[in-house]
């Protein structure tokens, strides 16, 4: 019996992870596509910022709506709907010739993406044994790095030679995969168990998040999600462009970002090991402080060696923190409001994802230095770490209810 559970846990990790990987591939390629579109469509820094931000607006809407839906119609169904929405939108955006239409489609891609991530982490955390839960959810997040790596490779080899449209078509392949996923994927056992008797309306779910019982963890999650997403999208969507501003060619900056991206994998794997050993709070606080320090040094780096070292550490710590966050979030709530709580925290965080890239675009246009911009992200991440430290409760080995 135990072995069967083990295999299904692994299979679930593979299935959810592949969806996660395709999502990351899309977001990862977006940063390179923005750099390519700047040249092709002659975009201003403000317009470049909007491409990243409209993606995040879509993610905010998607995380909210699909999180609520997952507590009604099940984790599995929503997981499939979101993947399809994202894939079709991504493929269609390859055929656009105007920024407006591209932005509209990016909104739908973002909605699919934003809905899928919290729902997938909820599904996985409810389906695996308690002693492996944190580790498996962090490993689920590590597929994000694999997706970014594929994105960086595609962007490096495909965009300069064949154009950004081909890169987007490649990212639409998951649509077929999403249909295949439908076959034989069980829903979360916890969700199936509560199906009828404990279901509550969407309004009641949202109200319950801010009830006396859950308001502390809801406030903590919203702060940390906002700070992490704000800094992540502000920094990472602009990485190739920041490298160009620091004087590297487009191809060279793609190459350096690829190297930095590889550092995400050990970030996840060390976080996955630490999370069951030292607990969720430890991983989040330590990795967030590491992210803040790396962001500061990346912004102030004045040589290639320093820039690369800080960039590698930034990837390592930031993505390890993301893994911890996805493991920690679903553990804060009971089953009947878990997807809603996870989705709403992610949704609030995505507002930060809208503001981050826009802020960078605005500040760059105002001729504000890169070091000043990265200092803002450094402070933001530290606020997130403080929220977890002071408001967070440890959930390691805690049975889900």
Residue linked to tokens 């930031």: 318
pLDDT band, residue 6 (cuts 50/70/90): very low
Would 252 be classed as within a structural domain? yes
**Helix (H, G, I), strand (E, B), or coil: what is residue 302?**
coil
**Helix (H, G, I), strand (E, B), or coil: what is residue 69?**
helix
Would 55 be classed as within a structural domain? yes
The predicted pLDDT at position 185 comes to 80
Number of domains forming the structure of the chain: 1
Are the C-beta atoms of 289 and 363 separated by less than 8 Å? Answer: no
- CA-nearest of 183, 197, 177, 389 to 284 is 389
Are the C-beta atoms of 293 and 372 separated by less than 8 Å? Answer: no
For residue 88 the two structure tokens come to 């079709």
Would 62 be classed as within a structural domain? yes
Would 137 be classed as within a structural domain? yes
Q: Render pLDDT for 155-177 as a digit per residue (tens, 0 to 9).
A: 888 888 899 999 998 888 777 77
The predicted pLDDT at position 65 comes to 96
Are the C-beta atoms of 343 and 219 separated by less than 8 Å? Answer: no
Are the C-beta atoms of 358 and 234 separated by less than 8 Å? Answer: no
For residue 310 the two structure tokens come to 């800080």
Q: What is the mean pLDDT of the chain?
A: 87
For residue 380 the two structure tokens come to 């933001």
- CATH assignment of the domain containing 271: 1.20.1250.20
Q: Render pLDDT for 257-304 as a digit per residue (tens, 0 to 9).
A: 778 878 888 999 999 999 999 999 999 999 999 999 999 998 888 888
**Helix (H, G, I), strand (E, B), or coil: what is residue 269?**
helix
Would 187 be classed as within a structural domain? no
Would 401 be classed as within a structural domain? no
Rounded distance between C-alpha atoms, residue 68 and residue 390, angstroms: 28
Q: What percent of the chain has pLDDT over 70?
A: 96
Would 396 be classed as within a structural domain? no
pLDDT band, residue 196 (cuts 50/70/90): low
**Helix (H, G, I), strand (E, B), or coil: what is residue 247?**
coil
The predicted pLDDT at position 3 comes to 45
Would 238 be classed as within a structural domain? yes
> For the chain, what is the radius of gyration of the CA atoms?
20
For residue 276 the two structure tokens come to 């069951």
Q: Render pLDDT for 304-346 as a digit per residue (tens, 0 to 9).
A: 888 889 999 999 999 899 999 999 999 999 998 999 999 999 9
Q: Which H or E element spans position 152?
A: helix 133-157
> Domain range holding 117?
2-181+209-391
- CA-nearest of 284, 263, 297, 316 to 388 is 284
- CA-nearest of 114, 135, 117, 133 to 125 is 133
């Amino acid at each position: 019996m135990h072995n069967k559970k083990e295999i299904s846990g692994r299979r679930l990790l593979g299935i959810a992870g592949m969806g996660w990987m395709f999502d990351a591939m899309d977001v990862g390629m977006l940063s390179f596509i923005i750099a390519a579109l700047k040249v092709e469509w002659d975009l201003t820094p403000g317009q470049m910022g909007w491409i990243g931000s409209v993606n995040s607006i879509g993610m905010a809407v998607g995380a909210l709506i699909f999180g609520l839906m997952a507590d009604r119609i099940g984790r599995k169904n929503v997981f499939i709907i979101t993947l399809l929405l994202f894939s079709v939108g991504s493929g269609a955006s390859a055929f656009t010739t105007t920024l407006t239409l591209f932005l509209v489609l990016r909104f739908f891609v973002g909605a699919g993406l934003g809905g899928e991530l919290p729902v997938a982490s909820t599904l996985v955390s409810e389906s695996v044994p308690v002693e492996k839960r944190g580790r498996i959810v962090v490993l689920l997040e590590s597929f994000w790095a694999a997706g970014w790596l594929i994105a960086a490779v595609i962007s490096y080899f495909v965009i300069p030679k064949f154009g950004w449209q081909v890169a987007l078509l490649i990212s639409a392949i998951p649509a077929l995969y999403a249909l295949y996923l439908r076959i034989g994927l069980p829903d979360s056992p916890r969700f199936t168990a509560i199906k009828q008797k404990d279901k509550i309306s969407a309004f009641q779910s949202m109200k319950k998040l801010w009830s006396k019982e859950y308001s502390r963890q809801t406030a903590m999650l919203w702060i940390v999600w906002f700070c992490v997403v704000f800094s992540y999208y502000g920094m990472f969507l602009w990485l190739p462009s920041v490298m160009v501003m620091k004087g590297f060619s487009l191809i060279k900056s793609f190459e350096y970002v690829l190297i930095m991206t590889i550092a995400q994998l050990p970030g996840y794997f060390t976080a996955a090991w630490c999370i069951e050993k030292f607990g969720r709070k430890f991983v989040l606080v330590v990795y967030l402080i590491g992210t803040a320090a790396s962001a500061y040094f990346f912004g102030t780096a004045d040589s290639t060696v320093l820039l690369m070292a800080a960039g590698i550490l930034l990837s390592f710590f930031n993505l390890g923190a993301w893994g911890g966050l996805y493991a920690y979030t679903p553990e804060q709530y009971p089953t009947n409001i878990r997807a809603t709580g996870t989705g709403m925290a992610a949704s609030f965080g995505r507002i930060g994802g809208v503001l981050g890239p826009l802020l960078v675009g605005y500040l760059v246009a105002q001729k504000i230095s890169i070091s000043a911009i990265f200092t803002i992200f450094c402070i933001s991440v530290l606020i997130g770490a403080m929220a977890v430290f002071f408001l967070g409760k440890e959930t390691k080995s805690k049975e889900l209810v």
